[in-house]
Structure 1
Amino acid sequence: MMTLSHRFPDFGRDAPGDEQTKVDEDGPLQNHLREAYDAGYSAGQADAVQAQADDRMSLSAELAQNLQDMAFTYRDAVADVVLNLRPLMQQIVGKLLPAVARHGLGGQILEQVGPLIQCHADAGVIIRVAPESHDIVAALITPALPDVLSLTTDATLASGQARIQVGPAERDINLDALITDVSNAMTAYFHHVEQEHSNG
């Protein structure tokens, strides 16, 4: 069997007289090629490192922007919820708290009278309330302190106020002032939230 290799030239063998065309491995051309390869490799590696750093910075900037947008959206949502609660809170402070204060006045009086009686056991207790609060307070405190108590009305007092006198000691209860303080604090809070919301 005959092969076809004789028909094609063999480039693996050195042709006669080719000794001058061989490249010297330590010659200037080979050194130049190595330096060019190393320079290209280093430049490619530097480009890859720079591209990776740029990608990282871009991702970091996008993440920071997304977090900032989320925080802004969250603050807006909280501000909207709080501002939508304003009418409810105004109803509570304007209508519910005064009613609770009227019914809680008797309990406040009893709470204040106890320590005063202990300090001045031999003195009588005089409680002054607004005319419109008399019946509510009388129903609550007269059964608790029937013998030592004198409940009178004072037209200068508002419905959430009372003046307690036990001997020389005197205390004032002013639930109306407390309600006013709560109302003012609530108004200031909602004003602050509204300002932050409008300023962004």
Structure 2
Amino acid sequence: MSYSRSFEQVTGAARDGSLFKPQRGTQYEVGVKTDLFDNKLSATLALYELTLTNVLTSDPINPDFDVQTGEQRSRGVELSVTGEILPGWNVIGFYGYTDARVTKDNNIPVGNRVFGVPDNVASLWTTYTFPTGSLKGFGGGIGFNYVGDKKPDSLNTFTIPSYFLTDAALYYRNNNFSIGLNLNNIFNVRYYEASFSNLQRIIPGRP
């Protein structure tokens, strides 16, 4: 269990030329960690709530400027699993759910999703390295990454769709020497990482 307070100075451009107040945060978190399958896997589960005030975001009237929202609250759960299933076979898995909403504001509708925050994120990466024999040190892996849909602007006028990516790797490791080949988005999925200023700027993902 943990409790924390924070503050951070923010920079931006207000329409009236005024300076912005520091962003302030309050977070509560509780979690548990356990070992599974004869200590072959380690699992961690965490629940949290983070409240931010004076958050900087795009001005709904003119996206070339910024405003400070009254309050944003994020509640979520994170689950991670890591371990060695068999000698040489490792796995890393993660799932996160975040409900990030505007809870107080004079310009942005209360209840809107916080821009740029996906509701669901999940990943799974598994590798196998030959532990013995003539192929000792050679290995490979495959990874899967899912990012849920998100809102790219404070008014939630449109949605960036979710996407699912597959990555792979081949490598050789021997003491202090290693060499590898990483392949990202091997199925050439078309996806978009973010968008700003009401479709004036869209950032596509790498092919």
Q: Which structure: greater strand fraction?
A: 2
TM-score (norm 2): 0.21
TM-score (norm 1): 0.22
RCO higher in 1 or 2 (8 Å CA, sep ≥ 6)? 1
Q: Which structure: greater helix fraction?
A: 1
